[in-house]
C-alpha cells in the first residue's frame, strides 16, 4: 500500500513540477524509510518503476542511496585531496591514503590500486574499489562541474553526486545545533562559501532549497598573499633584491577578491627562485600566529618578525569586514538575526573566529560551533539525501 502511494506521489510531482522543498524532503524521507524495509534485490526495480515519460535522474539517484554498496567520497580542493570509502549498508567510513603523490586528480583516479586503508585489508579495499556504484564529491560549488567531468571520464562512473562543504560542515554538527536561524561559513583554498537557513525542527527535512547561499573569491591562498605582501615581503625585499630579482608586486587590497592581481602575483611567486621558500615562510608565520603573539626568524643574519596584532589589524579584519558586507548583501539578512554560527575550513579555523571582537559585535546572541570532522559528516550523508545536487 505504501509503495503504491509513494509511486502515485512521485508521478504527481513529476506532472506538476511543483518542487516545494518541505514536500520533496518529506517524500524523500518516506521513500528512504520504505526502501530500507525491502529486500535489497527488489530496491532497484522499485526505485525506477514509475510511470514517467521523462528522465527522473534526480529522484532515482536519491532513492538509490539506500541500496547497499560502496561509494567513493572525494573531498577536493586545489592544494589538498582526501578520499574516503563509504560502506553504505552500515554507514561506515574508511579513509584511504595515497601511497604515492600524484600531481592531478586524473593521476590519482588512475592509480587507485596504489592506495591503502587503515581499516580495510588490501584485498577488501580492492574489492570495494571494483564495486563502486557512486562518487560523492565534496567541493566548492564553482568548480564541481569540471571535476565531475574528470571523474566520469576517468572512472567511467556516471553516478556522481555533489555536496557543498558548507552543508557537510552542517552535518558534522547536526546533533549539537538547535532549530534556529543558522549561518554556516566555510573557507576553502580560494573562496569562502556561506549558507543561511532557518533550521527546521525535523532535521530530516533538510534540503538545499531551504537555504540561501553565496560566496566570495577569497580564501586561504588570498590571506597568505596579504600576509606576505603587507607584513613579510617589505622586510625581505632589500635583502633578497641584492642577489635575486625583485618581485614586481602590485598587491591586491587586503581582504578583497581582486582575482586578476592575485593571479599575477601567484605566477610571479611560482617563477621566482625563492618563491617556494617565501610561501613556506608565510604559511609557517600564519600557523605560529594562531597561538603566539609574534613570529620571528632570520634571513641573511637579520631578524624579521610579524606581530599577531598587526596580522589581525591589517589582514584578518579587512577580510572579515568584506565577508560581513558580502553575506548581508547576498543573503539579504542582518547578521543580528543569526542565532547559530558554524564555521570551518583552513582560513577561518586559523583565526579563532568566535573570540574576535568582530564576531561578538555582529553575533551578540549566537552560539558558535567550529571545525569539521569529515569522517563524522560522511557517516550521516545517507540520512540527508535532499542536501545533494
Please state the rounded mean pLDDT for residues 120-132: 85
Same domain as 213, residue 252: yes
> 314-317 long-range CB contacts below 8 Å, 24 or more apart?
314/226, 314/230, 314/231, 314/254, 315/223, 315/226, 315/227, 315/230, 315/231, 315/254, 315/255, 316/223, 316/351, 316/356, 317/255, 317/358
The H or E element spanning position 347 is helix 346-349
Same domain as 297, residue 233: yes
Distance CA 216, CA 96 (A): 31
Instruction: Specify the CATH number for the domain of residue 89.
Output: 3.30.420
Q: Give residue-wise pLDDT tens across range 235-269.
A: 888 777 666 677 777 888 998 888 888 988 888 88
The predicted pLDDT at position 43 comes to: 40
Same domain as 214, residue 77: no
Asked if residue 170 belongs to a domain, the reply is no
Q: Give residue-wise pLDDT tens across range 29-82.
A: 677 667 666 554 444 433 333 444 333 444 544 444 444 578 888 876 555 677
Asked if residue 171 belongs to a domain, the reply is no
Number of domains in the chain: 3
Per-residue pLDDT at 102 exceeds 90 = no
Same domain as 212, residue 358: yes
Same domain as 90, residue 38: no
Q: Give residue-wise pLDDT tens across range 205-240.
A: 777 777 788 899 999 999 999 999 999 888 888 777
Asked if residue 211 belongs to a domain, the reply is yes
Asked if residue 379 belongs to a domain, the reply is no
Per-residue pLDDT at 184 exceeds 60 = yes
Distance CA 331, CA 343 (A): 16
The predicted pLDDT at position 309 comes to: 93
Per-residue pLDDT at 187 exceeds 80 = yes
pTM of the model: 0.76
Tally the residues of the chain: 389
The predicted pLDDT at position 52 comes to: 40
Domain that holds residue 35: 2-65
Listed residues 120, 137, 163: the one ending a domain: 163
Distance CA 5, CA 2 (A): 5
Please state the rounded mean pLDDT for residues 345-372: 86
Name the percent of the chain lying above pLDDT 90.
20
Per-residue pLDDT at 310 exceeds 90 = yes
Instruction: Specify the CATH number for the domain of residue 311.
Output: 3.30.420.40
Listed residues 33, 65, 97: the one ending a domain: 65
Hey, what's the cell of 241?
633584491
Q: Name which residue leads in pLDDT, 227 or 147.
A: 227
Listed residues 129, 163, 197: the one ending a domain: 163
Same domain as 279, residue 194: yes
Same domain as 158, residue 36: no
Asked if residue 168 belongs to a domain, the reply is no
Distance CA 255, CA 131 (A): 45
Per-residue pLDDT at 347 exceeds 70 = yes
Same domain as 276, residue 362: yes
Same domain as 301, residue 183: yes
Q: Which residue has the cell 545545533?
A: 177
Q: Name which residue leads in pLDDT, 367 or 27.
A: 367
Same domain as 202, residue 348: yes
Which band of pLDDT confidence, cut at 50, 70 and 90, is reported for residue 24?
low
Hey, what's the cell of 194?
556561506
Same domain as 327, residue 297: yes
Angle, CA of 338, 340 and 346, to the nearest 5°: 110
- Cβ neighbours of 300 (radius 10 Å): 10
Same domain as 205, residue 143: no
Per-residue pLDDT at 312 exceeds 90 = yes
Amino acid at each position: 500500500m505504501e509503495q503504491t502511494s509513494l509511486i502515485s506521489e512521485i508521478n504527481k510531482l513529476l506532472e506538476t513540477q511543483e518542487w516545494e522543498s518541505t514536500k520533496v524532503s518529506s517524500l524523500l524521507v518516506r521513500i528512504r524509510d520504505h526502501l530500507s524495509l525491502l529486500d535489497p534485490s527488489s530496491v532497484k526495480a522499485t526505485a525506477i518503476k514509475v510511470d514517467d515519460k521523462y528522465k527522473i535522474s534526480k529522484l532515482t539517484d536519491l532513492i538509490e542511496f539506500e541500496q547497499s554498496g560502496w561509494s567513493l567520497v572525494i573531498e577536493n580542493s586545489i592544494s589538498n585531496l582526501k578520499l574516503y570509502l563509504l560502506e553504505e549498508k552500515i554507514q561506515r567510513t574508511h579513509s584511504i591514503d595515497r601511497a604515492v603523490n600524484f600531481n592531478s586528480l586524473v593521476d590519482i583516479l588512475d592509480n587507485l590500486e596504489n592506495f591503502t586503508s587503515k581499516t580495510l585489508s588490501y584485498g577488501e579495499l580492492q574489492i570495494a574499489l571494483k564495486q563502486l556504484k557512486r562518487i560523492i564529491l565534496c567541493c566548492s560549488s564553482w568548480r564541481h562541474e569540471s571535476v565531475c567531468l574528470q571523474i566520469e571520464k576517468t572512472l567511467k562512473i556516471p553516478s556522481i553526486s555533489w555536496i557543498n562543504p558548507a552543508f557537510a560542515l552542517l552535518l558534522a554538527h547536526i546533533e549539537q545545533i538547535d532549530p534556529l536561524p543558522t549561518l554556516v561559513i566555510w573557507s576553502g583554498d580560494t573562496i569562502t562559501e556561506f549558507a543561511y537557513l532557518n533550521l527546521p525542527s525535523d532535521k530530516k527535512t533538510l534540503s538545499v532549497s531551504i537555504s540561501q547561499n553565496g560566496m566570495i573569491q577569497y580564501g586561504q591562498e588570498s590571506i597568505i598573499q596579504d600576509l606576505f605582501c603587507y607584513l613579510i615581503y617589505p622586510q625581505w625585499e632589500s635583502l633578497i633584491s641584492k642577489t635575486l630579482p625583485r618581485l614586481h608586486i602590485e598587491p591586491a587590497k587586503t581582504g578583497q577578491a581582486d582575482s586578476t592581481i592575485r593571479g599575477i602575483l601567484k605566477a610571479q611567486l611560482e617563477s621566482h627562485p625563492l618563491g617556494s621558500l617565501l610561501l613556506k615562510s608565510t604559511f609557517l608565520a600564519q600557523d605560529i600566529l594562531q597561538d603566539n603573539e609574534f613570529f620571528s626568524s632570520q634571513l641573511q643574519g637579520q631578524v624579521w618578525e610579524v606581530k599577531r596584532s598587526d596580522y589581525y589589524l591589517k589582514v584578518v579584519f579587512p577580510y572579515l569586514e568584506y565577508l560581513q558586507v558580502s553575506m548581508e548583501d547576498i543573503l539579504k539578512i542582518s547578521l543580528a538575526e543569526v542565532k547559530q554560527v558554524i564555521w570551518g575550513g583552513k582560513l577561518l579555523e586559523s583565526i579563532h573566529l568566535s573570540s574576535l571582537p568582530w564576531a561578538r559585535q555582529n553575533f551578540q546572541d549566537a552560539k558558535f560551533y567550529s571545525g569539521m570532522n569529515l569522517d563524522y559528516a560522511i557517516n550521516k550523508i545517507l540520512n540527508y539525501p535532499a542536501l545533494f545536487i
